[in-house]
């Protein structure tokens, strides 16, 4: 029987959930309380988040939790994707609808930015991989098309920070989510004000950065009355969903770099856990990223275009009346010819095309490969390309740390894809251990348990994960010839 209950607000690109963690002192049992859809919304020529609808769904879920668990509930914390933010004025009014990171307004932003501040200097001031969707380039886009809104902004809150403010009224930037911005210093662990000033960007609206596990306050009185959750605390977990997912990896090797993780979902975030940011010229050359973790750690990783390709292929198939679930698509992919077509996931055409199958076909046609035509061929192309990108990234991680990775942990929703898990083991020539599926919720909730004094360290949190969740193991077979083909594509 649970002696305490903690709540995770977990928002992904496709859906959001309220998940309860029932804590008995040794194990954490998860119960989904409320689930709702998510996704970008087109408004004119722009792509936005329907943030107020999401907040409405969260309140509905909190009310359901209040009725079910009552006074057992200790705290709530939110985690979401990175980089996107809300701007508030002095009266706490939202300034515009928050943009989606896939909005086209930042196209070409990297080249324009490097003319003002060199790439190496930006990396030294942030430690982050260069992606035009990063918050830095979003701010520059705001300055270009709506400078008056930036001038009127009094507070910038990343998406989970906004949700925490909506819950308790406290404006803070949790460290792991702030570190996705590309304007947090990787050594000082604070805002890179000099970088922003060189780019002519305002800094007055940046809130204080706090570490994961910080208690922000109690529910607003009005929210407590609507949800029946009087006295419930708001605790900032690792608010970047990948940071929570990595905290929820069931490894016994905390503090070592001999294991890698893949947080698998719409994006694949592949990396290792390190004690200090890796800021070498080679890390810059390999376009690696250093994002904040729990207990002072950093996540040395690569953002990889993940199951987005498969999700968007499914969307196109559905629109054409060819409706399959993901299991059916995986079965079709398994029957397709191996290594027929491979794509370079770094190609910007895959970021948000109107028709993903056509984008894949165009790439294959341009690179003189057989053009995938059937659903199985298209999805297999996506899976194999993703697994080969994992192999390439694994080599970069081992080079930068000087450590051989012995095992790869795959967590998150994508860990349910058996075909991709096996492809990852085959491509990387490493055993793959999958699970928990709900690693993000686990990391979020166990940080709250730790903040409540029930646990004392990240190692203890992971011990609870091992005791609470099952895993599956995949052994590798060889993919060397395919890896050579993939490397050749990357050189084109």
Residue 457 tokens, joined: 């360290």
How far apart CA 340 and CA 386 sit, in angstroms, is 14
- Cite the active site residues: 241
Close Cβ partners of 295 (under 8 Å, ≥ 6 residues apart): 457, 458
Residue 366 tokens, joined: 């341009």
Query: Dihedral through CA 367, CA 371, CA 376, CA 381, nearest 10?
Result: 0
CB < 8 Å & 24+ apart, contacts of 214-222: 214/172, 214/174, 214/451, 215/75, 215/451, 216/164, 216/168, 216/170, 216/172, 217/168, 217/169, 217/170, 218/168, 219/76, 219/167, 219/168, 220/167, 220/168, 220/169
Kindly give the residue spans of alpha helices, DSSP state H, lying in 320-438: 326-335, 356-366, 375-401, 418-428
Cβ contact 227:278 at 8 Å? no
| Residue 4 CA: distances (Å) to CA of 30, 155, 426, 452, 455 | 12, 34, 42, 10, 13
- Give the sheet arrangement for strand 28-37, strand by strand: 28-37, 15-23, 4-11, 73-79, 233-236, 214-218
Close Cβ partners of 357 (under 8 Å, ≥ 6 residues apart): 313, 316, 317, 372, 378
How far apart CA 334 and CA 81 sit, in angstroms, is 30
Q: How many CB atoms lie within 10 A of CB 282?
A: 11
Residue 236's DSSP bridge partners are 214
| Residue from 139, 227, 144, 245 nearest 183 by CA | 139
Q: Which residue has the tokens 């191996």?
A: 338
Q: Are strands 73-79 and 233-236 parallel, antiparallel or unpaired?
A: parallel
> Helix 356-366 and helix 308-319: axis angle, to 10°?
120
Residue 27 tokens, joined: 């194990």
């Amino acid at each position: 029987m649970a002696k305490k209950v903690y709540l995770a607000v977990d928002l992904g690109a496709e859906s959001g959930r309220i998940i309860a963690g029932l804590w008995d002192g040794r194990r954490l049992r998860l119960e989904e309380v409320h689930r709702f859809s998510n996704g970008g919304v087109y408004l004119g020529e722009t792509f936005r988040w329907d943030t107020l609808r999401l907040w409405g769904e969260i309140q509905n879920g909190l009310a359901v939790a209040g009725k079910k668990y009552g006074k057992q509930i200790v705290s709530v914390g939110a985690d979401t994707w990175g980089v996107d933010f809300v701007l508030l004025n002095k009266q706490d009014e939202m300034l515009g609808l928050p943009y989606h990171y896939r909005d086209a307004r930042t196209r070409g932003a990297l080249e324009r930015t490097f003319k003002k501040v060199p790439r190496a200097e930006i990396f030294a001031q942030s430690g982050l991989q260069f992606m035009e969707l990063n918050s830095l380039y979003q701010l520059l886009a705001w300055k270009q098309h709506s400078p008056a809104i930036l001038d009127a902004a009094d507070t910038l809150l990343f998406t989970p920070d906004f949700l925490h403010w909506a819950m308790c009224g406290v404006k803070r930037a949790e460290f792991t989510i702030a570190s996705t911005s590309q304007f947090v210093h990787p050594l000082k662990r604070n805002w890179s004000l000099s970088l922003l000033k060189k780019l002519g960007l305002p800094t007055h609206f940046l809130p204080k950065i706090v570490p994961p596990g910080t208690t922000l306050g109690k529910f607003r009185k009005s929210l407590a009355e609507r949800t029946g959750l009087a006295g419930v605390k708001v605790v900032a977990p690792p608010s970047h969903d990948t940071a929570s997912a990595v905290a929820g990896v069931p490894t016994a090797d905390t503090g070592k770099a001999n294991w890698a993780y893949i947080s698998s979902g719409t994006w694949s975030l592949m990396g290792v856990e390190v004690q200090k940011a890796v800021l070498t010229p080679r890390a810059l050359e390999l376009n690696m990223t250093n994002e904040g973790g729990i207990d002072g750690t950093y996540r040395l990783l690569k953002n990889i275009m993940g199951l987005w390709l498969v999700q968007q292929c499914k969307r196109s198939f559905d629109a054409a009346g060819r409706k399959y679930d993901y299991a059916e698509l995986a079965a079709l992919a398994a029957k397709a010819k191996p290594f027929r077509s491979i794509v370079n996931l770094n190609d910007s055409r895959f970021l948000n095309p109107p028709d993903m199958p056509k984008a894949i076909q165009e790439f294959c046609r341009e690179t003189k490969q057989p053009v995938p035509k059937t659903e199985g061929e298209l999805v297999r192309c996506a899976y194999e390309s993703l697994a080969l990108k994992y192999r390439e990234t694994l080599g970069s991680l081992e080079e930068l740390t000087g450590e051989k990775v012995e095992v790869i942990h795959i967590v998150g929703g994508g860990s349910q894809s058996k075909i991709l898990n096996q492809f990852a083991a085959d491509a990387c020539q490493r055993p793959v251990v999958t699970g928990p599926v709900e690693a993000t919720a686990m990391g979020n909730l166990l940080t709250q348990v730790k903040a409540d004094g029930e646990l004392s360290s990240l190692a203890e949190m992971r011990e609870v994960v091992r005791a609470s969740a099952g895993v599956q193991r995949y052994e590798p077979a060889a993919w060397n010839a395919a890896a050579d083909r993939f490397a050749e594509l990357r050189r084109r």
